[in-house]
């Protein structure tokens, strides 16, 4: 059932990377938060955004926009606020011990260190992709004033596109991580980028040639998170469904 | 930079489909809402769920669960309510002319017809994958009572997994569509499936061998949805960035 892969494969290869099969990409995509300084060509950004726009959206409305930020001053302005938001978040998390459920996990400390390093210098990423949701294109999902009547349906019209973006970057050998920390300074981001009032900034994705390697990623086994017919009834009888 | 694709490719092939390159999958994944009656093997469901769990999540918490529903009675119970929710939605949309922004698009009528056909008989899908978000695993993103303090960060911890699920199904030649219409009868779904109070049902994905063909999909060109540095400034200067 290999249908018309040739064109797409060549297009991937045009960006200088041999085409990877789908499961290799999905199984090895992970947050990569440290970047090498080399620039990312426009052609790669364009291919990644094209993949993003293949995602589904409610009513087929495609209510997404992407602002590609390369300018040093703009990245620095966002990075300063991002660092502030990170530090405020760390204080709240510490004060309420909000990560107590995760501290014991093997990779928690390493992940938090990497996230903190990124927060200290978000502008180290040569590109920031600012992912936006236009509330005016949500039809019955938003009220006349833009209020989300079904937040799930609204975010299901932008976050799948963001995931496509992360995967497409990985397919081209480029690192990313999905961040939403800007929500506490969204107003400033919108002012910096001239984003209209009715448009929400949903995610900021730093993009660049990664300093670290892709996966394979470690995750809970399928046996721990999948049920058959109803909650609590194992889907994987032998408990060995982690692959 | 082809790193270790062999194992993954073989795993894909084990489900009876030749491995597809990433961009073929992402460019041809589309909502397929009519299903042939053949059953979907557990191995394929497991591979799809494994791909889902590769997605990112806030704090790396992996706060997701998936209930795989095959039983006829359960699918019928969900389908009855789904049809009711669809009909109620159609009435609201008609009364408020909420789709006026889309009616003129070339594929709107066909898409709505297909969605209505699915709503008339959701149980025609041999499998429903009920995608859940555990509010107890959101740390500082949810309050002590489970209220979402940052809905974007919460849904960014489940909807990327749902998108991986849709893509993985397509990679195995299986059809899906992302639905959120159950939100108006979520309480009933949770009761049917014994889902705990603190867990939210975010999406229901019908899964099966498709009666129709995969893409390529039609989307707005990148030139229409991408900006450079700030809102309104074209990213694609020549306007030809649709690929």
How does pLDDT run across A27-82, given as a tens digit for each residue?
Answer: 999 999 999 999 999 999 999 999 999 999 999 999 999 999 999 999 999 999 99
pTM, rounded to two decimals: 0.93
CA atoms lying within 13 Å on the CB side of residue B174? 30
Task: Give the distance from residue B225's alpha carbon to the nearest chain A alpha carbon, in angstroms.
Answer: 5
Q: Which two tokens stand for residue B237?
A: 């200067």
Which residues in B lie closer than 8 A to residue A76 (C-beta atoms)? none
Which DSSP letter does residue A233 get?
S
How does pLDDT run across A176-218, given as a tens digit for each residue?
Answer: 999 999 999 999 999 999 999 999 999 999 999 999 999 889 9
Option in A178, A196, A225 nearest B64 (CB): A225
B 110-129 residues with CB below 8 A of A?
111
Q: What pairs with residue B132 in β-bridges? A: B65, B201
**Does the pLDDT of residue A86 top 80, yes or no?**
yes
CA A226, CA B132: separation in Å to the nearest integer?
10
At B16 the pLDDT is 56
Average pLDDT, chain B: 91
At A66 the pLDDT is 98
Q: Which two tokens stand for residue B96?
A: 């408020």
CB count in 10 Å sphere of residue A108: 16
**Does the pLDDT of residue B1 top 50, yes or no?**
no
At A215 the pLDDT is 86
Task: Give the distance from residue A35's alpha carbon to the nearest chain B alpha carbon, in angstroms.
Answer: 17
CB count in 10 Å sphere of residue B19: 23
**What mean pLDDT comes out for the span B63-82?**
98
By the 8 A CB rule, do A204 and A131 touch? yes
CB count in 10 Å sphere of residue B20: 28
Closest by Cα among A75, A58, A54, A79 to A171: A54
Give the pLDDT band (50/70/90) at residue A106: confident
The strand pair at A226-228 and B64-69 is best described as parallel
Q: Which two tokens stand for residue A15?
A: 């960006």
CA B217, CA A176: separation in Å to the nearest integer?
25
At B237 the pLDDT is 65
Q: Do A229 and B69 touch (CB under 8 A)?
A: yes
**Does the pLDDT of residue B5 top 60, yes or no?**
no
Which residues in B lie closer than 8 A to residue A9 (C-beta atoms)? 21, 23-24
Task: Give the distance from residue A82's alpha carbon to the nearest chain B alpha carbon, in angstroms.
Answer: 15
How does pLDDT run across A108-138, given as a tens digit for each residue?
Answer: 999 999 999 999 999 999 999 999 999 999 9
At A74 the pLDDT is 98
**Does the pLDDT of residue B17 top 70, yes or no?**
no
Of A87-91, B13-17, B51-55, B121-125, which range is least confident? Answer: B13-17
Residues contacting B147, CB < 8 A, separation 6+ = none
Residue B207 burial class via C-beta count within 10 angstroms: exposed 0-12, middle 13-18, buried 19 and up: buried
**What mean pLDDT comes out for the span A7-25?**
66
Which residues in A lie closer than 8 A to residue B162 (C-beta atoms)? 156, 160
Q: What pairs with residue A21 in β-bridges? A: B21
Task: Give the distance from residue A112's alpha carbon to the nearest chain B alpha carbon, in angstroms.
Answer: 8
Which residues in B lie closer than 8 A to residue A46 (C-beta atoms)? 222, 226, 235-236, 241, 243
Which value does ipTM take for this structure?
0.92
Q: Do B230 and A180 touch (CB under 8 A)?
A: no
Q: Do A140 and B93 touch (CB under 8 A)?
A: yes
Task: Give the distance from residue B124's alpha carbon to the nearest chain A alpha carbon, in angstroms.
Answer: 16
Give me the torsion for CA of B149, B150, B153, B157, rounded to 10°: 40
Closest by Cα among B129, B140, B165, B150 to B61: B140
Instruction: State how far Cα A224 lies from the chain centre.
Output: 24
At B236 the pLDDT is 84
At A237 the pLDDT is 65
Instruction: State how far Cα B127 lies from the chain centre.
Output: 13
How does pLDDT run across B197-239, given as a tens digit for each residue?
Answer: 999 999 999 999 999 999 889 999 999 999 999 999 999 865 4
Range with top average pLDDT, A1-5, A12-16, A141-145 = A141-145
CA A67, CA A138: separation in Å to the nearest integer?
20
At A33 the pLDDT is 97
**Does the pLDDT of residue B240 top 50, yes or no?**
no
Element (H, E) at A230: none
State the best of B8, B21, B162 to mutate against chain A, taking most chain A CBs within 10 Å.
B21
Of A92-101, B10-19, B25-34, which range is least confident? Answer: B10-19
Q: Do B51 and A222 touch (CB under 8 A)?
A: no
B 167-226 residues with CB below 8 A of A?
167-168, 171, 173, 177-178, 180, 183, 192-196, 199, 202-203, 213-217, 219-220, 222, 225-226
CA B56, CA A166: separation in Å to the nearest integer?
10
CA B53, CA A217: separation in Å to the nearest integer?
10
Element (H, E) at A5: helix A5-14
Which residues in B lie closer than 8 A to residue A203 (C-beta atoms)? 152, 156
**Does the pLDDT of residue B142 top 50, yes or no?**
yes
Q: What is the DSSP string of B199-216?
A: EEEEEEEEEE-BSS---P
Going along chain B from its start, the domains and CATH numbers come out as 28-211 (3.40.109.10), 213-243 (no CATH)
Residue with tokens 């995602």: A55
Three-state SS at A144: coil
Angle at A97 between CA A95 and CA A98, to 5 degrees: 110
**Does the pLDDT of residue B101 top 50, yes or no?**
yes
How does pLDDT run across A154-177, given as a tens digit for each residue?
Answer: 999 999 999 999 999 999 999 999
Option in B53, B178, B216 nearest A156 (CB): B178
Which DSSP letter does residue A179 get?
B
CA B116, CA B90: separation in Å to the nearest integer?
9
Which residues in B lie closer than 8 A to residue A55 (C-beta atoms)? 163
Q: Which two tokens stand for residue B240?
A: 């030809």
Closest by Cα among B212, B193, B78, B58 to B139: B58
Give the pLDDT band (50/70/90) at residue A1: very low
CA A5, CA A46: separation in Å to the nearest integer?
19
Q: What is the DSSP string of B112-162?
A: HHHHHHHHHTGGGSSEEEEEEEEGGG-GGGB-TT--BS-HHHHHTTTHHHH
Three-state SS at B71: coil
By the 8 A CB rule, do A175 and A32 touch? yes
Element (H, E) at A94: helix A72-96
Q: Do B74 and A231 touch (CB under 8 A)?
A: no
**Does the pLDDT of residue B88 top 60, yes or no?**
yes
At A236 the pLDDT is 84
């Amino acid at each position: 059932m290999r249908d018309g892969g040739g064109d797409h494969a060549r297009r991937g290869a045009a960006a200088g990377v041999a085409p990877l099969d789908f499961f290799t990409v999905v199984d090895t995509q992970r947050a990569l938060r440290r970047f090498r300084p080399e620039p990312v060509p426009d052609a790669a950004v364009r291919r990644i955004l094209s993949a993003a726009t293949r995602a589904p959206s409610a009513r087929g409305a495609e209510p997404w926009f992407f602002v590609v930020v390369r300018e040093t001053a703009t990245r620095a302005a966002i990075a300063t606020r991002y660092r502030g938001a990170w530090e405020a978040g760390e204080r709240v998390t510490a004060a309420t011990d909000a990560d107590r459920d995760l501290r014991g996990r093997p990779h928690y400390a390493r992940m938090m260190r990497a996230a903190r390093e990124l927060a200290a210098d978000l502008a180290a990423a040569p590109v920031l992709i600012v992912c936006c949701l236009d509330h005016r294109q949500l039809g019955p999902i938003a009220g006349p004033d833009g209020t989300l009547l079904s937040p799930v349906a609204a975010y299901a019209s932008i976050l799948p596109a963001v995931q496509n973006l992360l995967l497409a970057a990985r397919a081209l050998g480029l690192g990313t991580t999905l961040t939403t920390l800007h929500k506490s300074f969204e107003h400033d981001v919108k002012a910096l980028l001239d984003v209209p009032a009715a448009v929400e900034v949903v995610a900021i994705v730093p993009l660049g040639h990664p300093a670290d390697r892709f996966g394979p990623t470690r995750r809970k086994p399928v046996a721990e998170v999948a049920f058959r017919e109803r909650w609590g009834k194992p889907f994987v009888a032998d408990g060995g469904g982690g692959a």
